[in-house]
Amino acid sequence: MEKYVFITGATSGFGEACAEIFAKNGWNLILTGRRNDRLIHIQEKLTKMFPIDIRTLCFDVRIEEDVFKEIETLPNDIKENIDILINNAGLAVGRGPIDEGLIDDWDRMIDTNVKGLLYVTRAIVPFLKKNKKGHIFNIGSIAGKEVYAGGNVYCASKHAVDALSKAMRIDLVDYNIKVTNIAPGAAETEFSLVRFKGDESIAKSVYLGFEPLVAKDIAETIYFVATRPAHVTINDLTIMPTAQASAAVIHKN
Q: Minimum Å distance from CB 246 to ligand NDP? A: 14
The answer to whether residue 154 is catalytic is yes
Query: Which residue among the candidates 4, 154, 207, 223 is catalytic per the annotation?
Result: 154
Binding-site member from 17, 142, 172, 203 for ligand 8X3 (CB under 6 A): 142
Q: Which does 31 bind (CB under 5 to 8 A by kind): ligand 8X3, ligand NDP, none?
A: none
Contact flag: residue 54 with ligand 8X3 (CB under 6 A): no
Contact flag: residue 35 with ligand NDP (CB under 6 A): yes
Query: At CB < 8 A and 24+ separation, what contacts does 170-178 make?
Result: 172/125, 172/128, 172/129, 172/136, 175/128, 175/129, 175/132, 175/133, 175/134, 176/132, 176/133, 176/134, 177/125, 177/128, 177/129, 177/133, 177/134, 177/135, 177/136, 178/134, 178/135, 178/136, 178/233
* Candidate ranges 42-50, 66-74, 141-149, 222-230; the one touching ligand 8X3 (CB under 6 A): 141-149
Contact flag: residue 152 with ligand NDP (CB under 6 A): no
Residue with CB nearest ligand NDP? 13
Q: What is the C-alpha to C-alpha distance for residues 119 and 141, in angstroms, rounded to an integer? A: 20
Contact flag: residue 15 with ligand NDP (CB under 6 A): yes
In terms of CB distance, is 5 or 215 closer to ligand NDP? 215
Contact flag: residue 94 with ligand NDP (CB under 6 A): no
Residues that bind ligand 8X3 (CB under 6 A): 141-143, 151, 186, 247
Q: Hey, which residues are catalytic here?
A: 154
